[in-house]
Structure 1
Amino acid sequence: MSYFYGRLFAARPRLRALFPPAMGGQHDRFFHALGRIVWSQDNPEELARHLEGLGRGHRKYGVLREHYPAVEDALIATLRAFAADVWTAGAEAACRAAYRSAAEAMAGAAERDAADAPPWWVAEVVRHDRRAFDLAVITLRPERPLPFTPGQHVSVQSARWPRVWRTYSIANAPRRDGTVSLHVRALPAGWVSGALVRHTGPGDSVLLGPPEGTMTLDPDSGRPLLLVGGGTGLAPMKALAEQAATSAPDRDVLLVVAARTEDDLYDLPELRMLEYAHPRLHVVPVVSRDPAPGTVGGRVPEVLPRLLDDLDGASGHEAYVAGPAPLVRGTVSALQRLGVPLESVHHDLLTAGD
């Protein structure tokens, strides 16, 4: 990745202004994006959705169609250098064709999106609720309507760090006043998360990128819902619970909140209020260390069989999981062992944070 960006900026120095000051995270994201594109070659529909989302998301960086050829040249030069022992004219032609197809999908989606949506939204902080020394629930009011579906996430740029964007899940279903809430944990050396938790308050402004993500409810499914959220992965699960409770009040919803200790259940009072207002919603806190009365002791993959036995088994559920990667992987594996079909298990490992 260092070689790639060195080639790109040597050929087009002005492109450097589109990128953040520190490039380490950018290296990781670009490498991940390339890997996902290659991995999705056997699923054209998923690949098309992914590329179109990337193209729309790149609008906030100022990326234009005219920039794609320079990226192509730098990428081919990098592949040629690092795969020299297997590189052929045929391989280069195939890689260029694949890149141009992907670039066209991205640029086309960006241009279509530009017809009716801005590249970003300016949003005012209307509430900053510090729930822990390293965690805040931040409520924002975008300057214009921000259309989103519960389960999606937005990228955020703080005025403290221009051109540095980080992704956070929206923690609510659409509201009449148009506000959105984010659950933000300040990570060690986290540029954006630290700025949002420690150096942001009511009246400040941030930029929001377009909502993205496909971990949304199937409007045609009425199956019982199992929602599992750990850490700030609770945010999209809370949004899905709100949506289900209001749009399908007869649908059974089990919301499992995973935490290490009782103190980590930072949003439990609000969840209890939501549960009280919707009788078919059941909130279960699962605490792995020193469980208190009213919580279930253990780890989510271990306690799921017991929780789901009380609901006549797991196989009939539609499951959604968000949180730290080990929690997501462990929960998905446990659900498969319990007979939940893989196509009924939804997760998004593009979780919030720096």
Structure 2
Amino acid sequence: MAELGRLLKESWSLVDDQQEKMAAYFYARLFTLDPRLRDLFPVQMDVQRARLLGAIVTAVQTLEDPNRFADYLSELGRDHRKFSVVPDHYETVGRSLIEALRTYGADEWTLEYDQAWRDAYDVIARTMIAAATADQGPAYWYANVLSHERRGLDTAVFTCRPVEPLPYRAGQYVSVECGYQPRAWRAYSMANAPRDDLTMEFHVKALGAGWVSGALVRRLRPGDLIRLAAPMGSMVLDRGSPRDIVCVAGGTGLAPLKAIIDDLATTGRTRRVHLFFGARTRDDLYDLPALTELAERHPWLTVVPTVSHDAGYEGETGLVTEALTRYGPWNDHDFYVCGSPAMVAATRRTLTQLQVPAMRVRHDVFGQDY
């Protein structure tokens, strides 16, 4: 397995700087081999290309950790049921992927690399197919939008209720599709622990030309019907740990951390929680009133809002990682981190400098149209 991992990483380095071109080639080849597959994908393909390569890189990175590798691919297999994927599609995808890698690996691509990717993809496909086949739940859930509130120009908080129960754990996320962008699915975290009334809260920020996030912020209305895919993600509460908790949120990365806090509140907590909520300006602290109310109800919760680009702000200023270092010590806490890729990476570096063991840090990343 170690040798396979070495070959995959070594060969990926040949194409890493050509991901966009390789993805375009992959999809062109895929739709040539089976034109019917085009109907499974959204009209706008730019984000979809990045998601494909992201999934490949993640799978390769987890290969040396068998449990994580199997868990990730099983979730991916169940999630792909929403696309009406059948086992025969995996063969076509595999052929297209190998051809794309071979084409952009060019003269440096070897038969050894080719076989390594064939072997790896065979394991990936079999694991995903097995998980999808064994899943007894629906491929997706319909949900009614109950409320929708704009929080500034580019952020919204909405609640919905699935028509049938959708089981998940606080800290997980689901893919969402709305009628304003058919067949375009994007992942968003639930901002609450599971409730008896089945309602789910989502926080969405419209990022640039994000097709789905823009529709969910600017066009979604109460009464609309959306679709939710199977829950994914492993950033869930470690119930066996006795340690106090630190949550570090950037922007709408707050959502899963708020769900974890909600989980602690509803199941009987015995641990103190510090929540560091970072944003650019005070106006970007879109959920601060709700967090303040939450802290007033629960004395074990401390909320530390932080802004990085607001000179007149009277609270904590600077990057959220800088605010984090002004508190502590943190070497005997569990950490949950969610935000943009840059924010998560910076937080992990800071925690390393603060000598927090990596095994105590769970994180999730947002930033592709979330």
Give TM-score scaled by structure 1 length. 0.94
Percent of pairs identical after alignment? 46
In 2, distance between residues paired with 1:290 and 1:146?
Answer: 44
Q: Which residue of 1 aligns with 2:91?
A: 69
Evaluate the alpha carbon distance shift between residue 8 and residue 319 of structure 1 in structure 2; reply closer, same or farther with a 3 A threshold: same
Q: Does 1:196 align with 2:216?
A: yes
Give TM-score scaled by structure 2 length. 0.90
Q: Does 1:127 align with 2:129?
A: no
- Structure 1: 5+ residue runs without aligned partners? none
Evaluate the alpha carbon distance shift between residue 101 and residue 246 of structure 1 in structure 2; reply closer, same or farther with a 3 A threshold: same
Q: Which residue of 1 aligns with 2:339?
A: 323
Q: Does 1:207 align with 2:223?
A: no
- The one-letter code of the counterpart of 1:211 is P
Q: Which residue of 1 aligns with 2:358?
A: 342
In 1, distance between residues paired with 2:250 and 2:113?
Answer: 43
Contact 1:167-1:351 within 8 A present in 2 as well: no
- The alpha carbon displacement at 1:202 in A equals 0.8
Contact 1:322-1:351 within 8 A present in 2 as well: no
Q: Does 1:290 align with 2:311?
A: yes
CA-to-aligned-CA distance 1:215-234 (integer Å, 9 cap, x gap): 11111012000001111011
Look up the SS of the partner of 1:122 in the other structure: strand
Contact 2:40-2:183 within 8 A present in 1 as well: yes
- The one-letter code of the counterpart of 1:340 is V
Contact 2:246-2:275 within 8 A present in 1 as well: yes
Q: Which residue of 1 aligns with 2:284?
A: 264
Evaluate the alpha carbon distance shift between residue 79 and residue 131 of structure 1 in structure 2; reply closer, same or farther with a 3 A threshold: closer
Contact 1:225-1:253 within 8 A present in 2 as well: yes
In 2, distance between residues paired with 1:90 and 1:314?
Answer: 46
Tell which deviates more after alignment, 241-250 or 221-230: 241-250
Look up the SS of the partner of 2:62 in the other structure: helix
CA-to-aligned-CA distance 1:13-69 (integer Å, 9 cap, x gap): 111111111211111111121222222222121111111111111110111111111
Evaluate the alpha carbon distance shift between residue 219 and residue 8 of structure 1 in structure 2; reply closer, same or farther with a 3 A threshold: same
Contact 1:227-1:321 within 8 A present in 2 as well: yes
- Name the count of aligned residue pairs: 347
In 1, distance between residues paired with 2:348 and 2:111?
Answer: 43
- The alpha carbon displacement at 1:93 in A equals 3.2
Q: Which residue of 2 aligns with 1:107?
A: 129
Evaluate the alpha carbon distance shift between residue 203 and residue 93 of structure 1 in structure 2; reply closer, same or farther with a 3 A threshold: same
In 1, distance between residues paired with 2:78 and 2:322?
Answer: 40
Tell which deviates more after alignment, 70-79 or 117-126: 70-79
